């Protein structure tokens, strides 16, 4: 009976908000995503506090609040003399793909934050940030080697971004973010077509990175137009991914 269930595709857009997306919809920059939201169901989600990525994403994929996931920020301060970044090893509770594995259902996980180091599941896990390297890291190792060969330019994070925004070459950053999204999309399409899966979870973190630099309340401003340009490209990539699933995929 469990095998008769539909496939599930989850697409995460890190940092996305309807405040930004609705402007893009109104201006015609994200037609495919707009149509998708019109055909489906939408609601604002209440983020856990503090509203930070290493806290929020584990809440999403475990269904547990931060008090039960064990993550409350970016760093582990249990040893004040050796502060470390939090990792997947610190998370308490089972992720949805862990539960699916117990039912012999296959998952493919791509770039979901807080999945480093990748670990054994019934399927493939490709780590997201934070990660000590910017290259593709996956479990099982045999698939990592193969995917690195096919996608040598795959990166987790853009290299052209810095906390000193005044020193950022915005044109180079935009090109890099677009290229990251392009390669991540190509990887997803390859995995969807060449590996069996029941549950597929991909997160595009580039939108968040673009908004750190290009966000404006009015997206028709100088920087806002650059963000719209990226959103139009991201929208085309989402359309390619969604086109690969059939009516039996949720």
CATH no. for residue 7? Answer: 3.40.720.10
Q: Determine the average pLDDT of the residues in 142-171.
A: 88
Identify whether 231 is part of a domain.
yes
Identify whether 248 is part of a domain.
no
pLDDT of residue 57: 96
Q: Determine the average pLDDT of the residues in 136-152.
A: 97
pLDDT of residue 152: 97
Identify whether 250 is part of a domain.
no
Angle at 215 between CA 212 and CA 216, to 5 degrees: 150
- Helix/strand/coil for 67: helix
pLDDT tops 70 at residue 188: yes
Q: Determine the average pLDDT of the residues in 204-217.
A: 93
pLDDT tops 80 at residue 4: no
**φ, ψ of residue 127 in degrees (nearest 5):** -65, 150
Identify whether 60 is part of a domain.
no
pLDDT of residue 128: 97
Identify whether 234 is part of a domain.
yes
Distance CA 28, CA 19 (A): 15
- Is the Cβ–Cβ distance between 233 and 27 less than 8 Å? no
Q: Determine the average pLDDT of the residues in 94-114.
A: 98
Identify whether 80 is part of a domain.
no
Distance CA 185, CA 196 (A): 18
pLDDT tops 80 at residue 165: no
Angle at 236 between CA 238 and CA 9, to 5 degrees: 10
Taking the model in full, what pTM does it have? 0.93
Bridge partners of 107? 123, 199
% of the chain beyond a pLDDT of 70: 96
**Who wins on pLDDT, 193 or 80?**
193
Instruction: Give me the domain span that covers residue 126.
Output: 2-47+93-243
pLDDT tops 50 at residue 1: no
pLDDT of residue 154: 97
Distance CA 196, CA 62 (A): 23
pLDDT of residue 78: 86
Query: Helices (H) and strands (E) in the chain — how many of each?
Result: 9, 7
**Closest Cα partner for 30 from 214, 48, 38, 185?**
38
**Who wins on pLDDT, 170 or 3?**
170
Identify whether 84 is part of a domain.
no
Q: Determine the average pLDDT of the residues in 130-138.
A: 93
Contacts of 83 (CB under 8 A, 6+ apart): 75, 76, 77
Distance CA 63, CA 93 (A): 9
pLDDT of residue 3: 52
Average pLDDT over the chain reads 92
Identify whether 61 is part of a domain.
no
Count of domains in the chain?
Answer: 1
C-alpha count within 13 angstroms, C-beta hemisphere, residue 62: 22
pLDDT of residue 180: 98
Distance CA 232, CA 242 (A): 15
**φ, ψ of residue 234 in degrees (nearest 5):** -60, -40
- Is the Cβ–Cβ distance between 107 and 101 less than 8 Å? yes
Distance CA 74, CA 152 (A): 28
């Amino acid at each position: 009976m469990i095998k008769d269930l539909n496939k599930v595709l989850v697409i995460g857009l890190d940092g996305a908000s309807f405040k930004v997306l609705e402007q893009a919809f109104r201006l015609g920059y994200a037609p495919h995503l707009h149509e998708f939201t019109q055909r489906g169901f939408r609601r604002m989600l209440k983020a856990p506090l503090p509203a930070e990525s290493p806290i929020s994403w584990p809440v999403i994929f475990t269904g547990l609040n931060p008090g039960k996931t064990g993550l409350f920020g970016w760093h582990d301060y249990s040893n004040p003399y050796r502060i470390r970044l939090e990792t997947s090893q610190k998370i308490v509770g089972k992720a949805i793909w862990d539960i699916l594995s117990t039912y012999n259902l296959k998952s493919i996980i791509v770039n979901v934050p807080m999945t480093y180091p990748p670990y054994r599941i019934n399927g493939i896990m490709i780590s997201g940030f934070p990660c000590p390297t910017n290259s593709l890291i996956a479990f099982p190792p045999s698939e990592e080697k193969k995917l690195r060969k096919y996608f040598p330019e795959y990166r987790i994070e853009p290299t052209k971004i810095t906390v000193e925004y005044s020193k950022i070459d915005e044109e180079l950053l935009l090109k890099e973010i677009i290229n990251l999204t392009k390669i991540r999309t190509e990887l997803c399409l390859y995995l969807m077509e060449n590996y069996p899966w029941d549950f597929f979870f991909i997160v595009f973190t580039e939108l968040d990175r673009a908004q750190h630099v290009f966000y404006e309340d009015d997206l028709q401003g100088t920087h806002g137009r650059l963000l719209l340009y990226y959103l139009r490209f991201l929208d085309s990539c989402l359309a390619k991914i969604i086109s690969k699933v059939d009516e039996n995929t949720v």
